[in-house]
Structure 1
């Protein structure tokens, strides 16, 4: 795809868009240029009506994302001004994932650390290999963590586990991650890509307007009450009932066949 770069690979596989963080020599640590590429790739996926779901992954099989590229800290995060600019760029990348209207899945193998866990939390679903390792080492580095990132973790695992993850700064495995509710599924590492492709394909075969309306409503539900756009949530529901896909779904059910949804 035209938005692919050396370090950020975008490709299309039927209804699935794949965005891969490609820096395996550094366990897919994310550089400033990689952060900048994320909104561009997600925007291209959003415009493509054939793409129904997007999977985020890391190259090499040893890491999803091991965090930010610390080798850049001396240049990119050495003063209050550069820290603000770095956080702005990384924030735009995370916002592009959070605000993406279609379903997103983090396919996690190996290390999912710091900013990598932050990226995974921006996705709707997290599917992890048994060899996955998780941590937020901010307390070992003296880093401050913004409210938005902490809230995303609290929304997924609850306040007690969120405090444990930050307070201890320790690594934990996929079994603990599943117990915490941090990941949706844990599967053998050797079969994770096939599993995720099938899982994403199942989502991609369902009614997109229905799924996107559910995503919108769930996202509104996690906001503070005064910030919720309930009118937008209801409009998305109304659009489902007014769609040709609603007719197709009912007809296919009566005819005992698989529906062919067109997102309209």
Structure 2
């Protein structure tokens, strides 16, 4: 399946939805239409019960996403008013990723910079190949990032490391990204595909209602207290305990076999 004139590719296989940012000639830099296309693909995956988790990755081996498409800046982000319009146009895709109910994994090769790092931080798990490069070069472009992205960064690495990343604008390797807590794991480049396949296979057989409830609760922990929907969190937890999957989980445990969860 193709979206955004082929710049966003989507496929479903073995319970896993995969979105590929497909602009390798620009190191998969995100255009406005790509944000919309990603949102359309996520809508498709959310509606499909066979999709248990989603992987985001970049085409080729040079970049996950190198950031926003700078070639559009003069036209779409030339000043504060233009930036507000750009934010409005891309808000739908950003919101759909931030609120997507199923697990999302970032499979990172090469450059993961600026807005591309923002996409990765909106995922639940980030696995990177050795040789990947990270950074937020805002200070070298004369721009600033919005509250939500900076909050994600601070939540992952803490204020000290966030200040270093934002103020220097420097690139740093995957090993440093793992050390400060920005990514979960670094693996050899030739092992990344297998590592992602192992992880998605695990998520695809785990209980969907449990994954949904726990993801929602983790997100709520990072929200302001006034924004937390505790009733919805409690309802998601109750749905787990009232589900046929919970009965199946208990039965499978007693029978010493793997459970077959159905998401209900």
Displacement of 1:149: 1.1
Q: Deviations over 1:100-122 (max 9, x none)?
A: 00000001100000000000011
Separation in structure 2 between the aligned mates of residue 4 and residue 213 of structure 1, nearest angstrom: 31
In structure 2, the partner of 1:62 is 62
Query: Is contact 2:4-2:34 (8 Å) kept?
Result: no
Structure 2 residue 234 is the aligned partner of structure 1 residue 242: no
Q: Counterpart of 1:55 in 2: which secondary structure?
A: strand
Deviations 1:49-106 (A, max 9, x none): 0001000000001100000111111222224433212112233222111100000000
**2:258 corresponding residue in structure 1:** 258
Q: Distance in 2 between matches of 1:33 and 1:145?
A: 20
Q: Is the 8 A contact 1:3 1:44 kept in 2?
A: no
Q: What's the counterpart of residue 227 of structure 1?
A: 227
Secondary structure of 1:154's counterpart equals helix
CA distance in 1, matches of 2:196, 2:183: 13
Is the contact between residue 16 and residue 54 of structure 2 (CA under 8 Å) also seen in structure 1?
A: yes
Answer whether contact 1:4 1:41 (CA < 8 A) is retained.
Answer: no
Provide the C-alpha distance between the structure 2 equivalents of 1:173 and 1:207, rounded to a whole number of angstroms. Answer: 35
Shift in CA distance, 57/2, structure 1 to aligned 2, threshold 3 Å:
closer
Distance 1:85 1:22, change over 3 A: same
The alignment yields a C-alpha RMSD, in angstroms, of: 1.2
Does structure 2 retain, via aligned residues, the 8 Å contact 1:122–1:152? yes
Asked whether the equivalents of residues 66 and 115 of structure 2 are also in contact (C-alpha less than 8 Å), the reply is: yes
Q: Does 1:182 align with 2:145?
A: no
Pair 124,20 (structure 1): closer, same or farther in 2 beyond 3 Å: same
Does the CA-based 8 Å contact 2:2-2:9 persist in structure 1? no
Q: How does 1:197-208 map to 2 (within 5 A)?
A: 197-208=197-208
Query: How many residues in Structure 1 have an aligned counterpart in Structure 2?
Result: 264
State how far apart, in whole Å, the 2-side matches of 1:4 and 1:75 are.
Answer: 19
The question of whether the paired residues in 1 share the 8 Å contact of 2:64 and 2:110 is answered with yes
Superposition TM-score, scaled by structure 1 size: 0.97
Q: What's the CA shift string for 1:167-194, capped at 9, x where partnerless?
A: 1100000110010000001101112012
Verify the 8 A CA contact 1:136 1:165 in the aligned structure 2: yes
> In the aligned structure 2, how far is the partner of 1:69 from the partner of 1:40?
19
3-state secondary structure, aligned to 2:197: helix
CA distance in 2, matches of 1:253, 1:3: 42
**1:32-111, aligned counterparts within 5 Å?**
32-111=32-111
